[in-house]
Amino acid sequence: MRKVVDETERVRVRCDVLVKIIEKLDSNPELQDIFGIPVSKALVVVADGNDLRIEDGGSVDLTEEQSKRFLEILNEVIKASTH
């Protein structure tokens, strides 16, 4: 028997938007200094219930300052790419 999924429980991100976000992250000089080139090689997409996030994949041991700056840049890129 197939489970019927309520559409309100699903998170959707268009692939072209995801590509745009990844391109902006990859081209960011600050993130390149932190993660190397390409930046996206050090990142992962995590699905947690109805929450879809881009996170540090753990390949780089980030300082607290680097982690904070990564989140600031990530939030800026996502906002700019989804409006």
Q: How far apart are CA 80 and CA 70, in angstroms?
A: 15
* CB contact at 8 A, 73 and 30: yes
pLDDT at residue 15, rounded to an integer: 92
Which pTM value belongs to this model?
Answer: 0.83
Task: Please tell me the predicted confidence (pLDDT) of residue 83.
Answer: 78
Structure tokens given for 68:
């904070």
Successive 10-residue mean pLDDT values, the chain, 83 residues:
59 89 98 97 90 92 96 96 84
